[in-house]
Amino acid sequence: MFKKVFSASLLIFGLSFTCFSQNQLQEQWVDSVYQQLNLEQRIGQLFMVPAYSNGSTEHLEGLEALVKKRQIGGIIFMQSTPVKQIKIINRLQCLSKTPLLIGMDMEWGAGMRIDSTLSFPRQMALGAIENDSLIYAMGQEIAREMKILGVHLNFAPVADINSNPLNPVIGVRSFSSNKKVVSEKALAYMKGLQENGVLACAKHFPGHGDSHQDSHLTLPKIDISQERLDTLELYPFKHLMKAGVASIMTAHVEVPALTKKNTPVSLSEKAISDFLRAELKYEGLLITDALNMKAISGRYKTGEAEMEALKAGNDILLFPENIPAAQEEIKSALRKKKIDKSQFEASVKRVLRAKYRAGLTGKWHPLNTENIIRKLNKPKAKFLQNSLFENTITTVYNPDSLLPIINLDNKYFASLTIGSTGQYDYFLDKYAQVIHYKYEASSNPILFKELKSYDVVMIAVADIDPTQKNYGISKEAIDLINKLGSETQVVLNILGTPYAIPLFSNATAITCSYENNSITQKLIAEAIFGAIKTSARLPVDIKNFAFGSGASTPNLQRLSFSIPEAAGMDMDVLNKIDGIAQEAIADEATPGCQVLIAKDGKVVFQKSYGYYTYDSLRPVTENTIYDIASVTKVMASMQAFMFLEERGIIDLDKKISVYLPELKGTNKENMIWRDILTHQAGLWPYLPFWKQTMEDPGAFHQFYKKEPSPEFSYQVSDNLYTSDIMQDSLWSWVVSAKLRDKEPHVPYDYKYSDMGYYILKRTAEKALNQPMNEFLQQNFYDPMGLTTMGYLPLCNYPLSRIAPTEDDNLFRNNLVYGLVHDQGAAMSGGVAGHAGLFSNALDLAKMLQMHLQDGEYGGIRYYQKGTLERFTAQQYKTNRRGIGWDKPLMGEWNGPTSSYASAKTFGHTGFTGTAIWADPEFNLIYVFLSNRIYPDAENTKLIKNNIRTRIQDLIYESMWQYNQHVESY
C-alpha cells in the first residue's frame, strides 16, 4: 500500500516541483506517508533496535519479524563487518514498507564498530588540534563511509564537557574541559556530517561530563545549579542547536536542576518538553540514550520506560527492551491521554522528516558490496587519518627545548617501553642508534643502573587504564621513571590519556598522543626527532598543566613516513614494483633487493625482497647493509670535495698539481678538477691493479700476509692482509697510469673512470689532515643519524647484517662477505674514493634528502646554499654529467634513468647492482640496492632486463596516475 501511495505522490511532486519549496515537498511526503500508517505502524516508527551482523540466525530472523510485523522505524548497527551489514540492510529495507532509518555510533569512525575499516582519533585527541578544518574533513569522510554502508544517522558528536577527570563514561570521548573548544570542534564535526548527507546527533543532553558514575551501570546524579548548567554544560548544545544539528540524544542522568528526584533527563517531561522543547525551542529529532542501560533497565516495568521516554518528549526510542510491551504501554497512554496525540503525531513526523532528509523517499536500491573494503579505505581517507593523528601529538612540556632532538652524534640514546608500545622502538631506530629496554618490575634496580648512563632515555608509557589506580601503571614503574629524571634527560611519551601525566615529576620533556596505536607510535618517534612539527595544545586541565598548555616544536626536515597518496602518488601503481622485483629474483638477476621511494620529505615506499643468497636462508630486510660500490663516489668522495670547494680550499678550475705537487711533470699535471669529475680528463677507465700484485709470487708475498700484524693491518679479504707498502704502490701506479689516446688539440670526450677518485681521496685527506672515512663519519654520517652508512662495516655490525657479493675465484679465492667487493678499494684496506662505502636504503635516502633540501637536514646545515645545485648541474653541453654526479641522458632511451626523470635529476649507479636518484623537480628520491654480482660478477641480467629503470618508470607513472584520479581520491 505504501509503495503505491508513494509512487502516486512522487508523480504529483514531480509535476508540481516548480511550485513548491523543498520544505513543502518534505512536508507533503511526510504527511502522505503518515496518513498511510495505522496506529501500530506509527508507534513502530519510533523504535530503533540493535542489529549485530555477526549475530545468530535467530537474531536476524527476529529483526526481520520486527520489520515486517511491528513496522519498526530504524536499526542501530553494532559490531559488524561491511559485507554482512550491507546484506542485512538490503534485506531489511526490502522487507520494510516504510524505509528504515539506519543509525550507528561512529564517534571516531567506522572502525569503532566495523572491522576492516578506519578509526580516526577520539574526541579528546581532536580537542588538541588547532585546525578545525581537519575535523570537518573527518566528519565529511565519515559521512562518505556511512553512505557506502547504508547508514543515515551518526550518534556523534559528543557535546559533553569533560569537567570531571574521573568521569568513567566520557573521558577521551569529550573534546575538552573547555566549553568553547567543545562547541567549536563539535560544530566542525557536525557540519562535516550534515553538509555531506548524514544526520548528526549531539549527545548526551544536558551534559554527561561531570558524572562520577557510568550510566551503563547505574543512574548518575549531576547536582549542579541551573546557572552552572546554563553557562557551562548547555553551552555546546545551544551552539549546535543554533547551527541546525539534526538530532540530540538525551542522557540517562539525574540533574536536580531539571528533573525530579531519581528521574533521568531522558524520561523527564520537565527536562525535555518543558525545557529543551519549549524554553530552548529545539525542533529537531530527540533520541533517548540506549534504554537497555542499567540507569533505566530494571527501574521500570516492561515497556514502561519506552512510554515514559515518549511522554517526556523523545522521538526515537533507542534499544527498546520489549517492543510488544512498549507498544501496548504507548497505546494505553494514548487512550488515557497520558501522551498528547499531537505530541505523538509530531514525534512520528519528526522521524519521517529525518528519513526524508536522509534521502529515503524512493524505491530502495540495494547497496553494492563489490570492492567494499577498498571503497571504505580509500587512500585519501588513510591520508586524512594520518594527518589527524599527526596534528593531535602534543608536546606538553619542553622547557629546555630538548625536543626535537637535533644533535645525534656523541650521544647515547635508550628507550624504555612500559606496556604494549608496538612500533615505537621500530620508528625510533629510523632516526638514531637506540638501545631498547622493556620494563619488568623485577629488574628495576638493574634498569635504573643501566639507563641512567645514557644521555637521553625515551620512555613510552602505554596500556593506560583510567578505571584503574594510577591508570594501571605500577608504582614501581612510576618510581623508576621519576628517579631516572633526576639522573639523566628523560623524554616521557604518554600513549593515552593526559590525566596520567601528573604521576610523573622529573621528566625533561613530555609528549602525549591520547591514544596508543601504530600511527601514534610512529608519530611520537617522528616528533621526538623533528620529522614532524607539533602545535597541538592540551585540551583539558590537569594537575600542573592548565588547559591550552603545550609547546610548538619545529619540523627539522628529517624524513617522515607516510602513504604514497600523502605525496601525490598512487599506491596501486607502486605495488607493481613487487612484480618487477620478484621477476628479477626468479630470473636470478639478483638474490634480493631493497627499494625505497621518498617524495616531499616522506618515505612512501620501503620494501625488501628476496634473500641474501639463492639458497633462501636469510631474507633481506630494511636493515640489511649493502656494498654500494660506485655510489661511494657521490655519497663519500663528493661530500668531502664539496665541503672543501665551498670553503675555497679547492678550486674546480685549477690544476690538480696545485694540490698534489708530485703530479708535476706527469701526464696528469695539467688536469683540472672539473674535467676529472665529469670524466672527460682522459683518465684510463679502469686498471686492474690487483693483477700486478698476483703476477709475481715474490711480489705477492711482499704485498700480502695471511695474518694481520702492525705492518700488515689492512684487511683485503678473509685471511688476507696488506701493508702500507700497498698504499704507496697504488698511488705510484695511479700517478704513472696511461691516459686515453686522442687526436692532438682535440679535447677528451666523456669516458667514465675510477682513476680520478684515487686522486680525489689523496687530495681530500691531505687538505683535511684526516682519513676521509673518519672525516665523513664525524661530519656527516653520525650527525645525520646514518646508522648503517660507512666504510668497514664489520667494525660496527655482525656479518649477518651484510649482504655478500662475489665468490671471487681470481683474486681473493673466497666469497666476498662483509668486505668491499672492488679490488682496488680492497687493496686500499676498504677505504677508497671510488668504492668501499656500505649502507642500507634509508640512510642513502637521508643523504639525498639533505641534498634536495639544499644542504640542510635535521636542523643542521651541512652545505652552503647553492652548493648542491652547482655540483649537480650539467657542466658541458656534450657531456651529461654533473660534478661527480651522474645525470639523465635527456631524449635518449638508453640513459641511466627513467626517460620521465627531469633534467635536474642527479644520482649514481654502482657495479654491485645499486642506484640512487634524486629529482628536484618532483622532490623525489629513488633508491635501489641489490647484490646482483652474487655469486658471479659477470651476471648482467639486472642490467639487460632494465630492472632498476623499469621500477623508476613506475614511480613517475604513479604520480601521473594519482593526478588523473585526484578527484576520485
3-state SS assignment for residue 557: coil
Q: 966: pLDDT confidence band, cut at 50, 70 and 90?
A: low
Domain edges within the chain? 1-36, 44-376, 393-554
Question: How would CATH label the architecture of 44-376?
Answer: Alpha-Beta Barrel (3.20)
Q: Which residues contact 55 (CB under 8 A, 6 or more apart)?
A: none
Residues 377-402, mean pLDDT to the nearest whole number: 96
Answer yes or no: is pLDDT of 371 > 60: yes
3-state SS assignment for residue 732: helix
Task: Lowest mean pLDDT of 84-88, 252-256, 495-499, 946-950, name the range.
Answer: 252-256
Answer whether 925's CB lies under 8 Å from 845's CB. Answer: yes
User: Cα-atom radius of gyration of the chain, to the nearest Å?
Assistant: 35
Q: What is the pLDDT of residue 698?
A: 75
Q: What is the pLDDT of residue 621?
A: 98
The CB-based long-range contact list for 892-897 (8 Å cut-off, 24+ gap) reads 896/949, 897/949, 897/952
Residues belonging to the chain:
969
Average per-residue pLDDT in the chain?
Answer: 94
| Cross-strand partners of 637 | none
Cα–Cα separations (whole angstroms), residue 840 to 409, 611, 787, 791, 915: 19, 15, 9, 13, 12
From CA 729, how far away is CA 706, in angstroms rounded? 19
Q: What is the 3-state secondary structure (H, E, C) of 879-922?
A: ECCCCCCECCCCCCCCCCCCCCCCCCCEEEEECCCEEEEEECCC
Answer yes or no: is pLDDT of 441 > 70: yes
Answer yes or no: is pLDDT of 9 > 70: no
Answer whether 918's CB lies under 8 Å from 851's CB. Answer: yes
Whether the CA torsion 479, 483, 485, 491 is positive or negative: it is negative
Residues 693-698, mean pLDDT to the nearest whole number: 80
Q: What is the pLDDT of residue 212?
A: 66
Question: How would CATH label the architecture of 393-554?
Answer: 3-Layer(aba) Sandwich (3.40)
Residues 900-914, mean pLDDT to the nearest whole number: 98
- pLDDT > 90 in the chain, percent: 86
Global model pTM greater than 0.85: yes
Residues 653-674, mean pLDDT to the nearest whole number: 97
Q: How many CB atoms lie within 10 A of CB 431?
A: 25
CB burial of residue 96 (10 Å; 0-12, 13-18, 19+)? buried
Q: 38: pLDDT confidence band, cut at 50, 70 and 90?
A: very high
Residues 635-653, mean pLDDT to the nearest whole number: 98
Give the neighbor-by-neighbor strand order of the sheet with 592-599: 560-561, 602-610, 592-599, 924-930, 914-919, 906-910
Task: Lowest mean pLDDT of 101-105, 205-209, 730-734, 871-875, name the range.
Answer: 205-209
From CA 359, how far away is CA 353, in angstroms rounded? 10
Residues 560-584, mean pLDDT to the nearest whole number: 97
405: DSSP letter: P
Q: What is the pLDDT of residue 6?
A: 42
Q: What is the pLDDT of residue 891?
A: 81
Strand 199-205 to 247-250 pairing: parallel
Residues 26-31, mean pLDDT to the nearest whole number: 95
Residues 187-216, mean pLDDT to the nearest whole number: 89
Answer yes or no: is pLDDT of 557 > 50: yes
Answer whether 849's CB lies under 8 Å from 802's CB. Answer: no
Q: 124: pLDDT confidence band, cut at 50, 70 and 90?
A: very high
Q: How many CB atoms lie within 10 A of CB 534?
A: 29
From CA 388, how far away is CA 563, in angstroms rounded? 14
Q: Which residues contact 888 (CB under 8 A, 6 or more apart)?
A: 880, 895, 896, 897, 899, 901, 902, 903, 905
Q: Which residues contact 313 (CB under 8 A, 6 or more apart)?
A: 269, 272, 273, 276, 277, 286, 343
Whether the CA torsion 713, 714, 716, 718 is positive or negative: it is positive
Answer yes or no: is pLDDT of 4 > 60: no
Q: How many CB atoms lie within 10 A of CB 673?
A: 25
Answer yes or no: is pLDDT of 11 > 80: no
Task: Lowest mean pLDDT of 11-25, 230-244, 326-340, name the range.
Answer: 11-25
Residue 276: name the closest of 306, 250, 301 by CA: 250
Q: Which amino acid does the sequence have at 525?
A: A
